[in-house]
Amino acid sequence: MANEFAGEAEHSAEYFGDQRDHWYNQDFLQLLRRRFGFDDVRSVLDVGAGAGHWSRVLASMLPPDARLVGVDREPRWVEEATRRAVATGLGDRFRYQTGTAEALPFPDGSFDLVTCQTVLIHCPDPEAVLAEMVRVTRPGGWIFVAEPNNLTGQLLTPHALDTPVEDLLALVELEMRCERGKRALGEGDNSLGERLPALFAAAGIVGTQLHLNDRSVSLVPPYSAPGNQALVEELVSSHDREVWMWDRETTERYFLAGGGDAVAFPAAWARAGRALGRVVEELRAGTFAQAGGFVMYLGCGRRPTTPSP
């Protein structure tokens, strides 16, 4: 998920897989462009741009003369995003530089549109980040974010109905305790998408619209559809490296911070590994298929043209 990991030492390539390029349907993006009214956007800021996946998605939603600046705190991702922009013919309009979401290096009112994708879920203080995003948006300009509810993923699986209830509930508990633990440690909220209306209201953003992404993360044998191969490779790689949503050390740290029992953790970790192992076994056999429910909220609103009283 392009991200600003303010609470972690470094962005991980774990979060920048190429399956991100296939999260949205083009006709849906054009529908959002019309709904939000981006036709007069000329200057854009992509906060926590990572490898530039979200920037490239935005390219199809923006007027052809719009220019984009992406910021990320890690120079290696600035370099990678720049390289990919050039490779996709966007190098003359898209540029990237280092910067942090909590202290954006731009004057007030610098951009027509300020945006981020799966950034707020990793921020210790998403309110402060949104406040910065509003600050650098021109009065009347747009703030546009895409944030998920990741907790739902444990039930949106084709194995849910034939997994023992106890195992399924244990997987949900593991996810919930880890998400609560991550939040308790001040490292973000993986299901922050549910809080977007409240966050926008608290930031003074007006005219808020919220929409659900209409694309699922489906997998259909022989996995030839756009994005399927990238997703298969990501799942197999995670399994082979023994990574669930996080590596074992991080998962245990979050689990314990979320009220989990240290004695119970090894069994919970093994259960998660078996669940992913079953998926990978079926993928390798060419028999795994899923509709792939994916709860991603896209929220857009405006900076007020006049200060709040």
How far is it, in rounded angstroms, from Cα 177 to Cα 246?
13
296 — phi, psi (to 5°)?
Answer: -120, 120
The whole-number pLDDT of residue 160 equals: 86
Helix 248-257 vs helix 265-285: crossing angle, to nearest 10: 130
The whole-number pLDDT of residue 153 equals: 83
CA atoms in the 13 A half-sphere facing the CB of 249: 1
Residue 307 is encoded by which pair of tokens? 């200060």
The whole-number pLDDT of residue 16 equals: 59
Identify whether the C-beta of residue 219 lies closer than 8 Å to the C-beta of residue 290: yes
Q: Which residues of 187-219 are buried (b: 16+ CB within 10 A; e: fewer)?
A: bbbbbbbebbeebbeebebeebeebebebebeb
Q: Which residues of 124-157 are buried (b: 16+ CB within 10 A; e: fewer)?
A: bebeebbebbbbbbbeebbbbbbbbbbbbbbeeb
- Taking domain 13-149+191-215+294-302, whether its CATH number is 3.40.50.150 is answered by yes
Q: Select from 293, 282, 291, 279 the least CA-distant residue to 239.
A: 279
The whole-number pLDDT of residue 152 equals: 87
3-state helix, strand, coil in the chain (%, to 5): 45, 15, 40
* pLDDT by 10-residue block (mean), the chain, 309 residues: 36 59 91 93 97 94 96 96 96 96 97 97 96 98 96 86 91 96 96 96 97 93 91 93 92 98 96 95 96 93 82
Q: Give the β-pairing of 296-302 and 206-212.
A: antiparallel
Identify whether the C-beta of residue 194 lies closer than 8 Å to the C-beta of residue 148: no
Q: Select from 146, 11, 129, 125 the least CA-distant residue to 73.
A: 11
Count the Cβ atoms, other than its own, within 10 Å of residue 90: 17
Identify whether the C-beta of residue 109 lies closer than 8 Å to the C-beta of residue 138: yes
Instruction: Dump pLDDT digits (tens) for 29-61.
Output: 999 999 999 999 999 999 999 999 999 999 999
Amino acid of residue 67: R
Instruction: Dump pLDDT digits (tens) for 111-167.
Output: 999 999 999 999 999 999 999 999 999 999 999 999 999 988 888 889 988 889 999
How far is it, in rounded angstroms, from Cα 8 to Cα 122?
9
How far is it, in rounded angstroms, from Cα 255 to Cα 260?
5
Identify whether the C-beta of residue 55 lies closer than 8 Å to the C-beta of residue 125: no
The whole-number pLDDT of residue 21 equals: 83
Helix (H) or strand (E) holding 139: strand 137-148
CA atoms in the 13 A half-sphere facing the CB of 184: 14
Q: Which residue reads 């093994």 in tokens?
A: 270
The whole-number pLDDT of residue 8 equals: 37
pTM of full prediction above 0.85: yes
CATH 3.40.50.150 positions along the chain are 13-149+191-215+294-302
User: Which 3 state secondary structure label does DSSP give 95?
Assistant: strand
Count the Cβ atoms, other than its own, within 10 Å of residue 234: 15
